[in-house]
Amino acid sequence: MNSTAIQPGPALSAQRVQYRVGHGGFHATIVEDASTKQHLVYVYDVGACPDVALLEDAIDRFVKRLVARGIKRLQYVILSHIDEDHVSRLDHLLGKLGDKKIAVETLALPWLRDTSRLLALNRSPRRGPSTVVYQLLQDDDSVVQFATNLGVENVLFVEGESSDDGGGTDGSDAAPSTPRSHASNATYIPSGTPLKVPTGIPWRMLISHLEPPTQTLMAFDKRVIQVTGLDPADQKNHAKLIKDHRSEIRAAMRFAARKTKLDLRASTVSNWSSQSLYSASLSPFARHVVPHAPDDFEMECEHGWLHTGDLPLDVPDVWDAFETAWNRHLPGVEVCVALAPHHGSVHGHNDGLYVRFNPSVVIFPLGLWRGSRRGKPMFAKWIKPMNALIDVRKHRTIKVRILNNRV
């Protein structure tokens, strides 16, 4: 054998798993430097809805995996956005890690202004105080307290990038400010800031968090005050607004979108706030075989992965902001694996994503309901993946992988 053909690889390896959880999301990456026995571990989203059995099983398997490898520290739990199907079992994950004495360094979540929190809370009457969603949509101090009680060491709020500044020229129309936390374990970073990773691990992680146009949110605030007499940009009014004015809040958002000429389509401000995550080795080496028929999608891969949460990339304003942001943060970068936005729904689909990032693999993590039509499982409510699937399959070089997500 010709020995020059054998390249000595670096000691780095990365095991990356998109778990099957039904309708929801749970990803984990474990990076290991075999020469130093150092690890970088992170999770992106930990939610499912309404059925959490598959997710809880996946969490248990993930934690066992950490224990088996002697890992004592997890650097990041990143939440794309604050909806049930992305965060609902955060408490379960943190509880299981706590039981095994595995430390959780940082919870990273999108920082939301009060107006956006109200819109997210208002999405469903099920978002009561006993839910993770509710707890993560309170004021920053309460969020930090909630996370700290669950064993998280630090909370990282990622500020949004807005495509406008509200349009006020004399300062009288400045966007209302939402109070920040001064807790010693709370940190705020701008969208696009590289996340710190353990020294010596050549790995890059970058989050982008987009905000809807400030002028639309301000038009919404004004309209809600007009109709209800209560300011939605003040957290103290949220409980009363949700109790007495649920449908007026919805109507006010539609009004504000029309007034500011925003083509919101089926999207919500909550989905719009989805943080996208790019993560990859700084010098990818390992080649890999793409798994064929995955339950969990599991791959040894050091190349770039792009997670997009529930970003409604079908909305032209969102797509423009998304493309602009990534062209600024990581110009020209391509990825190995992209997750189809919004569980693969056509609400979220934009072919530009696949042209821009040129992925080798696109994962459709769409959930399938047990409730079926003539014995056939159905897609989760709202998720209409067929047209998005057909569109992605037109790219001959892309491998499409659909998670076996039957609950």
Cβ atoms of 365 and 339 closer than 8 Å: yes
Q: Which is nearer to Zn ion, 63 or 340 (CB)?
A: 340
DSSP one-letter string for 328-345? HHSTT---SEEEPGGGG-
Interaction residues for Zn ion, span 317-376 (CB under 5 A): 336
Member of 84, 310, 314, 317 binding Zn ion (CB under 5 A)? 310
Q: How many CB atoms lie within 10 A of CB 320?
A: 14
Residue range at the interface with Zn ion (CB under 5 A); choices 34-42, 122-130, 302-310, 348-356: 302-310
Closest approach of Zn ion to the CB of residue 362, in Å: 13
Site track 74-93 with Zn ion (rule: CB under 5 A), x = hit: -----------x--------
Instruction: Write out the two tokens for 147.
Output: 């996370």
Instruction: Write out the two tokens for 67.
Output: 């224990």
Closest approach of Zn ion to the CB of residue 315, in Å: 15
For position 303 contacting Zn ion by CB under 5 A, the verdict is yes
Total number of residues that touch Zn ion (CB under 5 A): 5
Residues sharing a CB contact under 8 Å with residue 314, sequence separation 6 or more, in sequence order: 265, 267, 346, 347, 348, 349, 350
Q: Which is nearer to Zn ion, 339 or 392 (CB)?
A: 339
Instruction: Write out the two tokens for 117.
Output: 């929190």
Q: Which is nearer to Zn ion, 75 or 88 (CB)?
A: 88
Closest approach of Zn ion to the CB of residue 112, in Å: 16
Site track 224-263 with Zn ion (rule: CB under 5 A), x = hit: ----------------------------------------
Pairing verdict, β 361-364 and 203-211: unpaired
- State how far the Cα of 234 lies from the Cα of 335, in Å rounded to an integer: 41
Closest approach of Zn ion to the CB of residue 303, in Å: 3
Taken in order 238, 95, 367, 385, the sign of the CA dihedral is positive
**Please, what is the angle between helix 90-99 and helix 53-68, to 10°?**
30
Closest approach of Zn ion to the CB of residue 336, in Å: 3
Residue range at the interface with Zn ion (CB under 5 A); choices 50-58, 197-205, 303-311, 373-381: 303-311
Across the strands, what pairs with 156? Answer: 108, 187
Residue range at the interface with Zn ion (CB under 5 A); choices 146-154, 195-203, 257-265, 293-301: 293-301
Which residues of the chain form contacts with Zn ion (CB under 5 A)?
Answer: 85, 301, 303, 310, 336
